[in-house]
Amino acid sequence: MKAIMGLEVHVQLRTESKLFCGCGTDLDGRGPNENTCPICLGFPGSKPKVNRRAVEHAVKIARALNCTVWPEVRFSRKSYFYPDMPKNFQITQYDVPLAEGGYLPLDGGRIGITRVHLEEDPAKLAHVGGGITSALYTLIDYNRSGVPLVEIVTEPDITSPKEARLFLDKLSLILEHLGAYDPGREGSIRVDANISLEGGQRVEVKNLTGFRTVEDALNYEIVRQRSMANIGIAVERETRHYDAETNTTSSLRGKEYEEDYGYIVEPDLVKIELDQKWVGRLEAEMPELPDARIERFIEEYGIPRFQSGVIVNAGLEMSRFFEESCRLHGDPGEVASWTVTSLMKSLNFEGLSLAGSEVRPETFVELLELIDEGVISERLAKELVKDYVGTGESPRRLVESRGLGLMEREELRNAIDAVLAENQRAVADYLSGRERALDFLLGQVLRRIQARGRPLEVKNLIKEALDSSGKCLGSSAGRAPGC
């Protein structure tokens, strides 16, 4: 049975004030319910006013998703009686949304975008003594109430939970490039996932945060709904809650239909006319988006598509880091290779983002210069980058303070002689024609010198010493000259 999936993605927009009032959107350090006013608390007689910056963000998002932006939009009241909306209705867009009919290219295909519209964020609920269905009581913080949201509704084009996650990854990257949201803000993207089996009822899994969570919740629902179908139990149309700790969903309520919300036109807000010249000007201001950046990196820097994709998809900060490193170093191929194969792997291992680390283009380029100058080997650099990522300390200073520069040739020969003396069996194996013994001896030498030598040069010196030993052993008149 084929699974049919679509997403409703709610994005907190990056504005200084809320959607319909002057309260700020920076909630860090604010006590519960401090960041409120009569408008966002829905006091009788309070009058909303639309945040122009939020509309600008929404238009740019719509155009980035290839949507048609309508010349005239209206706000509506969506009535529902939950404690997170003190007015008992939410101001949103319904019959005349801001934009419709777009798509997002994804892995050679496309995910259709049904609509993009603006609405206000509800309050934040804190469930005490249990989860959403078992809490002893629930506390409400209205600080978030009224923060501008853009809702992006997809067509039911998503074919797998993995594709849902890929869609969200790409969408968030586009939003980051647009400067439309803050990826570091808690709850900046929340997802309602809709899923049904072909011919069955649709289930909505509500308020998912984290893209991995969306994937896990959809995987669970596919298994649950297929299991029910296999034993002849009908899946009901409902809203469910996902518990990440147990990796299960549970029923919250029967799913509402459109008429249950009693939509009416918002009487306190006039229609908004979006002049097409103004929309065109906003579109012209849009920055380079991820797909275009990938193509430019390939053409401008001559790096492989795979590396360009990895760098760009790692986030806007990584793209900027790469370009600045290229400007400082001048060899984009080397910068790309070390960024993808060593720097990003070390950041992931340490659990760090680029922005959250002390890594900077100036010091990263130092590492590459040390390799180019022959001060350290590539093998040593791969070890050194781990310490560098954790501390951000200058690689050149790390090398100097630890005495990690490449050994002089005479030092290498002494280390090789010591290893050969300690591994006579491997020496004998090589001299009897077993070439693999050479690789063993190379590993022993590199371990002894702590990678302070270029592997190819060290290998040649070992071979030279072994060949010399063979000549000495083969001399019929005792030790040959120099043995």
Residue 253 and residue 301 in one domain:
no
In total, how many domains does the chain have?
3
Task: Based on the fold, state whether residues 449 and 390 are members of the same structural domain.
Answer: no
In terms of domains, do 331 and 391 share one? yes
State the maximum Cα–Cα separation within the chain, in Å, rounded to a whole number. 113
Of 219, 250, 282, the residue that ends a domain is 282
Same-domain pairing of 87 and 212: yes
Query: What's the mean pLDDT in 333-350?
Result: 94
Instruction: Please say if the pLDDT value at position 479 is more than 70.
Output: no
Range from 344-348, 389-393, 428-432, 449-453 that averages highest in pLDDT: 344-348
| Domain-embedded: residue 269 | yes
Whether residues 314 and 252 share a domain: the answer is no
325 within a domain of the structure (yes/no): yes
**What is residue 156's predicted lDDT score, i.e. its pLDDT?**
96
pTM of structure:
0.83
Q: CB within 8 A of 278, min separation 6: which ones? A: none
Dihedral sign for Cα atoms in the order 390, 395, 399, 400 = negative
Do 374 and 465 belong to one domain? no
Q: With respect to residue 368, please indicate whether it lies within any of the assigned structural domains.
A: yes
By percentage, how much of the chain surpasses pLDDT 90? 64
* CA-angle at 8, arms to 100 and 151, nearest 5°: 55
For residue 421, the domain's CATH number is 1.10.10.410
Domain boundary among 282, 300, 319: 282
On whether both 123 and 200 belong to a single domain, the answer is yes
Q: What's the pLDDT score for residue 416?
A: 80
pLDDT(131) > 70: yes
Average pLDDT rounded to a whole number, residues 365-377: 85
In a domain, residue 480? The reply is no
User: Is the same domain home to 154 and 11?
Assistant: yes
Residue with tokens 């209705």: 89
Tens digit of each residue's pLDDT (9 = 90 or more) over 249-285: 999 888 777 777 889 999 999 999 999 999 999 999 9
Asked if residue 380 lies in contact with residue 452, where contact means CB atoms within 8 angstroms, the answer is yes
Tens of pLDDT along 436-469?
Answer: 788 888 777 777 666 565 666 667 777 777 877 6
277 lies in the same domain as 354: no
Question: Which residues are within 8 A (CB) of 71 and not within 5 positions of it... i.e. 6 or more apart?
Answer: 273, 274, 275, 276
Residue 439 or 173, more confident: 173
Interval 462-481 mean pLDDT: 59
Residues 251 and 312 in one domain: no
Residue 170 clears pLDDT 70, i.e. is over it? yes
Specify whether 213 is located in the same domain as 333.
no
Residues 234 and 294 in one domain: no
Rounded to an integer, the average pLDDT of 338-365 is: 93
Residue 169 lies in a domain: yes
Asked whether residue 477 carries a pLDDT value surpassing 50, the answer given is: no
Is there a domain that residue 482 lies in? no
Residue 309 belongs to some domain of the structure = yes
Backbone phi, psi, residue 2, to 5°: -75, 135
The residue among 282, 313, 347 that closes a domain is: 282
What are the pLDDT digits (tens) for 1-22? 899 999 999 999 999 999 999 9
pLDDT at 298 over 90: yes
Give the range of the structural domain holding residue 313, as residue numbers without chain letter.
288-402
